[in-house]
Each structure stands twice: as structure tokens, then as C-alpha cells.
Structure 1
Amino acid sequence: MENALVTIEQILAQMNREPFTEDGRLVRRLLCALRPRDPRDVGAAAVLLEALTALLQRRPDYAEALRRHVIALLLAKNFFRLLLDSGILSERGFGKELSRRLRFRLLPLPPNPNSLRDWTDRVFLPKDHAWIEGIDPGLWERLLAALHFERISGEDKAELVQRMETVVVALSHQIAAGGLNPELLRLDPSLDEYDSPFLAQYEEINAWLRGRTAPDADASHARVLLAQCAEVLDKIRRRAHTAGTSVELTYAAIRLEQQIQRLEDLLTLLEAPGIGQQLPILAKLLAGILAGAAQRYSPKALMAATTGRLAYQITQHVAHTGQHYVAESPREHWTMFLAAAGAGPIIALMALLKIRLQDMHYAPLSELALVSLDYALGFVIIYMLHFTVATKQPAMTATFMVNALQQIRNSQQERRMLVCFVGRVFKSQMMSILGNLFLAFGTAFALAYAAREALGWRLVEPAKALQLLQDVQPFTSLALFYAGVAGVGLFLSGVVSGYYDNKAVYEQVSERLARLRWAARVFGPGRWRRMSEYAGDHLGGIMGNAFFGLYLGLFGALGKLTGLPLDIRHIAFSAANTAYAWQSLNFHAVNHTLALALAGVLLIGFANLMVSFGLAFYVALRATRTPPRRAAQQLGRALLALLAAPLRLLTLRGDRCDQARLEKAIEAQESAHQ
């Protein structure tokens, strides 16, 4: 730290002695000296910035030298693109912009020596945005105040103002064009039917700029129109909860919001009567522009800025499904048990079909395709029959739980509600698991017993049976790791379900299917209308279950094809396989091998649940823009509550909570979805 402070003073002394050079090397050296060793160390950056401010206040000659170099840099290089684009999404669109940033990482573009934006590219690193954005805005203001920009010459000030006016015109023009984006017009057709504020603000700002020198000129009406533009975007965002959204719509809306905010800042800056009123907006612009310059070529920043709202929309659809998996009354628990029990026999048949397909020794790719179709069709049939697979529930309930917790601001109440919610989810989950396990195990056991006693057939050969038991051993195999791999698939299937639910609404799948004339002639108008409505309402569930089946089949075969330790273990299939193996080996008494296998089945289920729940809970927290540290804390509390739930149930402590608050949270989730 002391070395950095000495370096800063040496650079300022050199600025005081030497004139400005075209490459702005001294300003660049000063900015690099202000960078902390760890970009996330905002405290260290603040100390350096405080030291620079104090030094400028003590040494007016240093302040004058730094001001002279900064103004010379702004006049020597074109800052039009920096002020117009830095911190604002590109007009290229999400796909092209992501491709451009990835290409730049592999092969950087040569810099334009006359561009201030390209100059900043060489100064700032992608991680610099962390300390730039973390600095207190008041500290930026004090630094700018110490430079005394009010002392710059009138000629230089006029030149800078003229360049800013050019940026204002360009921004206003881009906002007007963005307001005609087809994605926006689709959700708000009134923009195309009536006077659009996006177009009106362009005319108003141009009129204001032409008469800006008049005594009574002000940009208040332009600000009103910009506020109306922001209201339109807010209305479109709210409408997206029911009409769906897309990456393109999200990208266009975020870009417009950023442009409107930048234009409002520039208008405030141009209208401010003195440096005292300009300093706050200058500090805000400086931090935003520098942070944007640091992330100009960052694919991660683009993904975070653009896909966050789409992820939020997806989690909203998942949460709406998840609230149906939280049972409260004994009747609801019994209903969940029966729904899960209905899936048990289908799972047992799916497990048997997989065993038989593997025994036929097809070519590897053929086996992969057949096993994947076995899983995918089985899960889709389970869904269409309104049965449930127990381990799919945590990925749904975790998202709903996050949305309910957003209604609570008190940390103590949050912990109490979390324990309460996890307790209810655990009891609901246990009923579903018992339904799956009893019927999957029982059906497999009955099939194997009937085949052996009535027909003399062994559904599973003894060697294969021993392998099936070994596959679920918790301590002598990778069963728990493979269960975690399956848990990832359970989480991803929830994401896929939410994505296609959103897509079905946004793309108007039901309405478009209903317009297929040939289908209406084949199936009949009434029947085809009902089929179209079903497809639109259940597309997410069908695609999510199909994806999970394909995922299980793919990873189960990928390990064999590549030799990598990749496979899956799912509690319901493991239970069915254990039953087939038990009957095949003619175990009439429970021995240690079977006992370990049954323990392995339960631990596999535990790993399935923990991984899928943890991933879904954390992603839902991040989608609601919860800070990473707070998200990690809440995730830890949720997992601990899940671990403690069995003990609370056994000790009859129950899941005491504020029933009224819980019901209020559920109602808030339902109204948000509607």
C-alpha cells in the first residue's frame, strides 16, 4: 500500500513537470496505480482514492496538473463512443454481441489511437468493475471537487459541451429507434397506434438543444417524455409475467433503460448551473463509464445483464408449479402419496426394460438411444397420467420457497419461515418418496417373483443381479457421486420446464396450434382445440420430463462410451433394481449385502434431493438479484434446515411457524404469477 501511495505522488509530480502527450501515458499510469491488487478489495481501492484526494487538496499544483492532463486527454481523443456506449448494451443484439466478445477474447481488435474508448480498453481489466462500482459515490465526488473543473478555460468548456450535445442527439435518436422494436410492439401494440413517447422525446430534445441558450429554455418536458418511456418499459416488464419473455425482448428492454438513464444524466449535467450541481452526476457518470469500459468485452457480464431477467421469468413459472408440491393437511399428504404410488409401477417397468435392453448388447449408440427413449417416454407418461416422481419436487419447491422468503425482511422471521417451509416440504417429499419406493420396489419384486414361480424365468441373471446390488453400495462404489449427477439433471429439468412454460406463453403455442387447418380436419375442430390447449398448458412439463429422461439415458451411456466415471443413480430406479436383484438371487432373508443395498438406496435419494434442491434454491436466489454472499448464507441455512427436518419430525417438534404469514406468502406468489 505504501509503495502505491509513493507511486501516485511520483506520477503527479511528473505530471506537474511534463506536458500532456498524445498517448495519455501519465493518466494511464495513475489509473493503474489506483487499482488494488485484488480487484474485489474495495476497501484498499477506497484507501488509495482517499489518499489521492487528500494529496490533491494539499497540493493545488498537483490538482492543476492532473486537471490539465485529463482535459487534454478528453480533447485529444474522441469520447463520443465512450459516452454513448460504455455501460450500455450493444445495438448488435444478444447473439451477435456474445459472439463478438468471445472472438475478441481469442483475437483482440487493434486499438484506434484517436478513440478514448479504445484507450480505456488498454487501461482497465474486466475485474476492475468490482472496485469501481464498490467505491462510495461520495468519494468520487470529493475527488472531482479536488480537481476544480470550474477553472477550465471557456474555450475548452465550450468544446466539451458541444461534444456532449452530439452524444445527447445520438442517444435520443437510438431511443426513438429502439421504441419501434418489434418485440416491444408485440407486447404493447399501442406504441404503434398512438403517439409514442419514444418518438416524441427525440423531437423535444432537438427543439431544446436548438433553443438552449434562451433564458426560459429547460428540458423538463423532455424529462417527462423520458419518464413515460420508462413507464412503458415497466408496463412491458409486468406484462411479461403473463405474456412471457425472450432473450431478444429482455436485451432490447435493458438497452433502452440504460440509454434513457444515460440521456437523463447528460441532460441534468448540461442544465446544471454550476459545478456544485454537476459533481454528483459527474461522479455517477464516471463510475458507470469506467465500470462499463472494464466489462466491454466480458461475456460473463453480458450473460449476467441479459439473461438474469429471463432466468427470473423462468423461475416464476417453476415456482408456480412448485407451490402445488407443498402439502399441509393429512388429506393432501395422502393425495401426494397416491400420485407418487401411481408412478411406482411405471418406474419398475422402465427399470426392467433398461435391464433387458442392456442384456441384448446392441451397438453402443443404439443402446444409448433406446435407453434414453425408455426413460423419456416413461417420465412423459407419468406426467400425462398426473402421477409424480418424488425427486423432481425439490427443484420446484425450492424456487417457490425463495419467492415466499422475498416477502420477509426480518432475518429472525426469515429463519423461522425457512425452518417451517423446509419442514413442510420434507414431509410432503417423504410421502412422495414412500409412494415411489413402495410401489416401485413392490412392483419389481412381484414381477420377478411371478416370473420365477409361474413361468420359471429369471428376469435378471445372477451375475447381473450382483452387479445391480454393487451399483448401489454406498461405500464401495461411486453411487453417491452418481446420485449427485442425477440431482443436477433433476435441477436442469426444472429449468427446462420453466423455460418451455415461458416459451409457450410468449410464442402463443396454443393459439398457433389451433390455427392449423389440416390438424383440425384430421382430429375434428373441438378435439383439436382441446389438444392445442393441453399442449400450451403442459408444454413445460412434457419437455422437462422428456429432458430428464434423455439426461439419465445419456449420462448412463456416456461413461461406457468415453471410459469416464459418469453414470446416474436415481432412488426409484435403484429401489426397483434392488428388488429385481433380490428375487434373482433368491434371498429369503435380509443379509448384510441387501441391507447395505437398501441403505444405499436411501442415501442415493438423499443425494438426489440435496443436490437438486441446493442448485434450484441458489439459482432462484440469484435470479431475484440476491447478492452472492447473502445467497450463499440463505442456501446454507436451507440445507441445514433440510438436514434437521427428520430430527424435528422424530422429536415431534413439528414445523411451528406463522400460518398466516405463510398463507400470505403463497397468495403473493399466486398473484405475481397471474
Structure 2
Amino acid sequence: MASPAPDDHTTSFIEQTLARMAEAPPADGTLLARLWFHVQPHANQPLTAAHDNLHALIALLERNPVYIAALRDHLVALFAGKKSTRLLTEAGLLPYRAFGAEFRRRIAFKLLPPELDPSRLRDWLDALITPRDHAWIRTADPADWIRVCDLLELRQVFRRGEPGVLTSAISSLSHRIAAGGLDAELLRIDPALEEYDSPFLALHHEVDAWLRGASEDTRQIDVLLEQCDEALDRVRRRSEELGTSVELTLQSTRLSQQMTRMRSLIALADPATEAPHSLLARLFVELIEASNERHSVGSLIRDTAGRLARQITQFASQTGEHYVAEGWGALKKMFWTASGGGVIVAGMALLKTQVAALHLAPLQEALLVSLDYALGFVLIYLLHLTIATKQPAMTASLFARTLAEVRSQRAQQKLLNEFADKVWRSQAAAILGNMLFAFATAVLLSLALDAAGHTAIARDKAALLLAEIDPFGSAALFYAAVAGVGLFLAGIVSGYYDNQCVYHSIPERLQRLPLPQRLLGVGRWNTIVEALRPRWGGIAGNLFFGFYLGLVAAFGILAGLPLDIRHIAFSAANFGYAWQALEWQLAPAVVLTSIAGVVLIGLVNLTVSFSLAFYLALRATRTSRRDSGHLLLRGLAAILKAPFRWNGPSPREEPRPD
């Protein structure tokens, strides 16, 4: 313990409190609270002061066995006098309330703190622990806590039987696990849990027998816990095929947490367990962390968002497989499908300018523009054409799941480089197809309308369109980032509805609708539903993206906020319309600036959508926030270097001779 000596006054206060404990009979925990007050760091002290105070407490206990007996007696009285079951069975585990109810509850507690019940150990601990305590306890040496447990011989306090501190908690957990294992959501995914002997029920019976002393060891409990883990793994694997829900994810995660907590409590109560004080020290730190986040709104949002991300990115990654082009044949196909998308985008851009020329009320114009975008994107999707900027949001989820399974730095970098090469090739082909054909189609439509005696857009509108894609004289790149957020959210929506379609058997239920069957006939209606079965998520994502693009600008106008969108394909089409409307009379500098604007808008679209999707997908694989950030930066760097690293397709990707 080579650390600075604690303040002499603090050591004196700690010893005085221990002496009072030795003289006074165990009461309501007041002296324990006072002892904790002297150990914790005060407002003007660094966190390391608490570590020094803890060392001083250990030294006092080592020198005086009377203090050891007194402190242990007061701890036993605390557990005997307060209800500890909820602390041991709920702290640090998912709540049973739905997200909405728990969110409203925590918000209400921010406005008006909850009433604390002094008879419950969990509430007593919440009142005792301060936010600074969580920091110094987390950074304290675990050996110090283990030494305190060794000196106090806490194993005797937590043994099976009297005083029975853990007995009620273990029994409560076994009941909750048995009930959770028969949850309707789990049985729907894995009917075998109901058809055969449930390991969750068998676990409850075995734990009950062990607590009553009818069983001497915990080997059968360990076997049943493993069977329960296997059942949950089976549910998770089947949910990848049958879909999942937030409720199912919550239930399976809660069961897993409860079984982990039960393992810890049984190990503490089992006389055969080696090094139980190490387990006790870890449990203590875990309960302190849980106290810190018990009413935290941020932790609830982070946890729920992480579970929802795992649910969504699972299906987004499956979609991402269709957005990676390998080989010349695939790249050519990507180029031509993107070209088709560019043709339709040019028509959508023209229709949008015609709607704007009507000078409708803002809400009416926003609705018509949104329908233009949404129906156009759905048409592009149903025709199997491509919008380039949608690729990163899909491929990022696919890649993150692969990358998270690799741990070595070298293997990760190799995967990053391979992925970057594929993304760069695919994006280059798709962007060229979108840009060139959106621009060319816009020019051809303008010339056709001009030949027929009409104008696509007026000259003042053309000047405005050129100003909107100027990357240096306008907020075009910021608006491109806003569009990138929409691309990311469209991927989220697509993955979510793909999952909902599978989980809730939407196609099968649609086939039973009586009205379409009468209007179209049973066979024709079933054919339509089957054709759309794999496309519901894509349709929903494209509808969302279309309405996002159409409504963001309207919201900005109504709210007085600088909000708008810039998308590479629409920018290329608008450049074509503007150039033709100005009769090709543009200065070379304006042409170069416009081309640079279109390219930069595309880069921002791609970078923002990819970064958000890749980071979310990494977090969904339970990668830490720090590691996710590092992998994101390395991934972006690898993509930027990809054009300089590519020497043509690999031998297996060589085009076949015609």
C-alpha cells in the first residue's frame, strides 16, 4: 500500500467511529453511514483520498480485532433489520416495466425525487451513496475490498441457512426465472420450451431443494443453468430467422442477467466455493454502479437503444449483402442499375420544380414534394434500381457484424482494407451511374421541353439551383449532412420493418384480408403479397426517406431554422436543368464549382450515413464506445486510401470474355 498517508484527522474520525461501534449495540445503520462518510472523498478532495482512507480503515482493522467484530456485527444487524431482497434481485438488472412506462417514471423522479423507504436496504444505499462514490469505488483496487471481506469474515454472514441474507434473494430469483422461461414471447419463438420439460422450471425445483438442504451440492444447478443458457441461445438464433421484438429482447436479456446474478449469489452461499470474497467484492461494485443508474434517464435510453440497434441492424446487415459489388460483372450491373436510378431521379427533380412553381401553401407543397420523393424512391426500389447513397447505411451493418468477431489488430485492419476496397468500387460505380444519367436525363428532358415550346425551369430558378449546390457560397455541405442523417434513418426504418414483417407474420395475415380477395381474387392477391414479402422493409425505408427529404425543408421554414437537404443525384439533375435553362452560358469557374459541389455533396452524404450506421452497428455488437470510435476512424481512413490501393480486380474477379 505505497500511497500517501491519509489526513490524520480522517484516520482519527474513522477510529472514533469504529470505537463507538464497539461500545454501542448494533442499531439502524447510523454508525455505518458515519463510517462511510469519513471514508468517502469530500468535495474539495481528489478521488484518491478515498483510496487512502480505505487503506487507513484496513490498517485499523488489522491492528484491532475488536473493531473487526464490531463492524461485522453492525453489518449483520443492517442486513437483518432491512429488506435486502430487492437490492440483490433487481439492482443492475433490467426493470419489468415497458420502456415507455419506465421512461416516464424516471422523468417524473427528475422533477420530483422518489420517496425513500428506510426499511429497504436498496433505498438506504441510494441515500448513502453519492455520485463521487461511484467514481472512486470503480477505480479502487479490488484487492482492498477483498481484504476487507477477509478481515470481517463475511463468508459466514452470507452462508446458506441462518442468518439467511441470500436465501430469500436466491429463492425469489428462481421463481422469477421460472416464470420468465414460460413467457409467451419465448414460447412463440421456441415451442420446445413448452412441449418438453422446461429447464427453467427444473432449475426452480432444484434451487428450492438446495435451499431446503435436500441437496448438498450445486452441480445439478450448474447443469440446469447451462441448459437455460442453451435455451436462450436457441431463442436468439431462431429470432434471426423468425424476427424479434423489443419485448423478446428485454425478456431474454433479463433472464440472462437474472441467471448470472443467481450464479453469483449461490456461489457466495455455497460452502464449497473457493475465493468467495472475490465474488462478493465484484457484487458490491456492481450494486454500487446500479445505484448510480437506478433513476438515470440516459442509461435507460442507452441500454434500450443498444438493444433496439441489435434488433434492427441484424436485418439491415442481411440487406447489406445486396449492396456489395465484387468483380467486373457486378460492378457493371451496379453502374447500370444506378444509371436507371439516375434517370428516375431526374424526373423526380423536374416534378419537384414544377410543384414549387405552383406556389402552394407550405404544407401542401411539402406534402406533394414528399409524395414525389417517396413514390419515386419506391419505384426505383421495386424496379431493382439503385440510389448510391443508400449503400453505406446497409453495408456498414453487414461489415460491423463481421468485424466485431475479429479481435486481433492485424486481422481487423485486413478486413477494414478489404471492406474499404469493396465499398469504394461499389460506390464509385453507383455514384457515376447516378450522377451521369441524372445529369444527362435532365439535359435531355430540358431540350425536349424546349423543342416543344416549354421550359423546364425559369432562368431565375436556374440561378437559384446553381447557388444551392455551391459548396463555398452556401450551406450546401451542411444540408448534405442533414440528408445523410436521413439516409441513415432510412436504413434503420428498413431494418425495423423487415424484422416486424417476419416477427408478426405480416404477409400471412395480409393474405387473409377478405376485401382484396374479393376485388382481385384469392390467387392474384396471394401472388401480389408473395411478391412483396421480401420488400416490405425496403418499401417502408424508401417511403420514410422520401417524406424525410420533403418535410425537413418545410419544417425548417415553419420553425425558422436553417434546415434543408442536398442529395448528390438531385444536385446533379438540378445542375443539368440549370445549365440548359441558362443556354449553356456559364463561366468555367461556375461549372467547375458546380461539379465540385455535386461531388462534395455526395461525399458528405456517404460519410455521414456510413459513419452513423457503422457506429450504431458496432455498438449493437456490444463493442465499447471507445473501440467503436477507433474502428470508425480506421474504417473512414481505409475508404479514403482505397482509390490509391486498388490495382484492378483480383484474378477471380476478371471479366469473362464475351
Q: With the length of structure 2 as denominator, give the TM-score of the two structures.
A: 0.90
CA contact (8 A) 2:11 2:53 kept: no
Q: Aligned to 2:107, which of 92, 102, 105?
A: 102
| AA of the residue aligned to 2:119 | N
Q: Which residue of structure 1 lines up, in the alignment, with residue 36 of structure 2?
A: 30
- 2:363 equivalent to 1:361: no
Aligned mates of 1:351, 1:268 — CA distance in 2? 67
CA contact (8 A) 2:377 2:546 kept: yes
Structure 2 unaligned spans of 5+: 654-658
Q: Aligned to 2:294, which of 296, 299, 312?
A: 296
CA contact (8 A) 1:15 1:65 kept: no
> Deviation digits for residues 293-312 of structure 1, max 9, x if unmatched?
22211233334444434312
- 2:443 equivalent to 1:445: yes
Question: What pairs with 1:453-492 in structure 2 (closer than 5 Å)?
Answer: 454-492=451-489
Q: Aligned to 1:147, which of 139, 145, 152?
A: 152
Q: CA deviation at 1:198?
A: 1.9
Bigger Cα displacement from structure 2, 360-369 vs 96-105: 96-105
> Deviation digits for residues 223-278 of structure 1, max 9, x if unmatched?
3333322221111111111111111011111111122222222222222258x643
- 2:94 equivalent to 1:89: yes
Q: CA deviation at 1:142?
A: 2.9
Q: Aligned to 1:559, which of 556, 560, 563?
A: 556
| AA of the residue aligned to 1:348 | A
Question: What pairs with 1:75-86 in structure 2 (closer than 5 Å)?
Answer: 75-86=80-91
CA contact (8 A) 1:12 1:66 kept: no
Q: Aligned to 1:170, which of 160, 169, 172?
A: 172
Aligned mates of 1:187, 1:158 — CA distance in 2? 37
Distance 1:89 1:31, change over 3 A: farther
Aligned mates of 1:624, 1:558 — CA distance in 2? 35
Aligned mates of 2:48, 2:528 — CA distance in 1? 60
- 2:429 equivalent to 1:431: yes
Distance 1:504 1:140, change over 3 A: farther
Aligned mates of 1:659, 1:136 — CA distance in 2? 55
Aligned mates of 2:131, 2:252 — CA distance in 1? 24
Q: CA deviation at 1:522?
A: 2.6
Q: Which residue of structure 2 lines up, in the alignment, with residue 74 of structure 1?
A: 79
Distance 1:48 1:544, change over 3 A: farther
Aligned mates of 1:554, 1:295 — CA distance in 2? 37
Aligned mates of 2:44, 2:452 — CA distance in 1? 72
Q: Which residue of structure 2 lines up, in the alignment, with residue 503 of structure 1?
A: 500
Distance 1:127 1:14, change over 3 A: closer
Q: Aligned to 2:413, which of 412, 415, 426?
A: 415
CA contact (8 A) 2:17 2:35 kept: no
Q: Which residue of structure 2 lines up, in the alignment, with residue 227 of structure 1?
A: 226
Distance 1:132 1:234, change over 3 A: farther
Question: What pairs with 1:327-346 in structure 2 (closer than 5 Å)?
Answer: 327-346=325-344
1:629 match: secondary structure: helix
Q: CA deviation at 1:76?
A: 3.0
CA contact (8 A) 1:648 1:655 kept: no
Q: Which residue of structure 2 lines up, in the alignment, with residue 671 of structure 1?
A: none
Bigger Cα displacement from structure 2, 177-186 vs 197-206: 197-206
CA contact (8 A) 1:346 1:382 kept: yes
Q: With the length of structure 1 as denominator, give the TM-score of the two structures.
A: 0.88
Over the aligned positions, Cα root-mean-square deviation in angstroms equals: 3.0
Bigger Cα displacement from structure 2, 418-427 vs 541-550: 418-427
Q: CA deviation at 1:448?
A: 1.2
Distance 1:38 1:12, change over 3 A: closer
Aligned mates of 1:527, 1:122 — CA distance in 2? 66
Q: Which residue of structure 1 lines up, in the alignment, with residue 540 of structure 2?
A: 543
Q: CA deviation at 1:527?
A: 2.4
Aligned mates of 1:500, 1:50 — CA distance in 2? 56
Bigger Cα displacement from structure 2, 489-498 vs 256-265: 256-265
Aligned mates of 2:470, 2:246 — CA distance in 1? 44
Q: CA deviation at 1:456?
A: 2.8
CA contact (8 A) 1:204 1:221 kept: yes
CA contact (8 A) 1:12 1:65 kept: no
Q: Which residue of structure 2 lines up, in the alignment, with residue 670 of structure 1?
A: none
Q: CA deviation at 1:616?
A: 1.0
Q: Which residue of structure 1 lines up, in the alignment, with residue 237 of structure 2?
A: 238
Q: Which residue of structure 1 lines up, in the alignment, with residue 186 of structure 2?
A: 184
**May I ask how many residue pairs the two structures share in their alignment?**
647
Q: Which residue of structure 2 lines up, in the alignment, with residue 248 of structure 1?
A: 247
Aligned mates of 1:603, 1:28 — CA distance in 2? 63
Distance 1:534 1:62, change over 3 A: farther
Q: CA deviation at 1:118?
A: 0.7
Distance 1:490 1:43, change over 3 A: farther
| AA of the residue aligned to 1:298 | S
CA contact (8 A) 1:317 1:502 kept: yes
Distance 1:270 1:585, change over 3 A: same
CA contact (8 A) 2:459 2:581 kept: yes
| AA of the residue aligned to 2:457 | V
Q: CA deviation at 1:327?
A: 1.5
- 2:597 equivalent to 1:631: no
1:253 match: secondary structure: helix
Q: CA deviation at 1:38?
A: 13
CA contact (8 A) 1:368 1:557 kept: yes
2:166 match: secondary structure: helix
Aligned mates of 2:208, 2:374 — CA distance in 1? 59
| AA of the residue aligned to 1:512 | R
CA contact (8 A) 1:34 1:48 kept: yes
Aligned mates of 1:433, 1:61 — CA distance in 2? 78
Bigger Cα displacement from structure 2, 199-208 vs 290-299: 199-208
Question: What pairs with 1:110-149 in structure 2 (closer than 5 Å)?
Answer: 110-124=115-129, 132=137, 137-149=142-154
> Deviation digits for residues 562-613 of structure 1, max 9, x if unmatched?
1111111001111111111111111245532232122111110111111111
Q: CA deviation at 1:136?
A: 6.0
| AA of the residue aligned to 2:362 | P
Percent identical among aligned pairs is: 46
Q: CA deviation at 1:33?
A: 4.6
Q: Which residue of structure 1 lines up, in the alignment, with residue 656 of structure 2?
A: none
Question: What pairs with 1:489-638 in structure 2 (closer than 5 Å)?
Answer: 489-588=486-585, 590-638=587-635
Distance 1:265 1:408, change over 3 A: closer
| AA of the residue aligned to 1:178 | G
Distance 1:345 1:298, change over 3 A: same
Distance 1:162 1:404, change over 3 A: closer
CA contact (8 A) 1:499 1:540 kept: yes
Aligned mates of 2:591, 2:42 — CA distance in 1? 59
Distance 1:161 1:609, change over 3 A: same
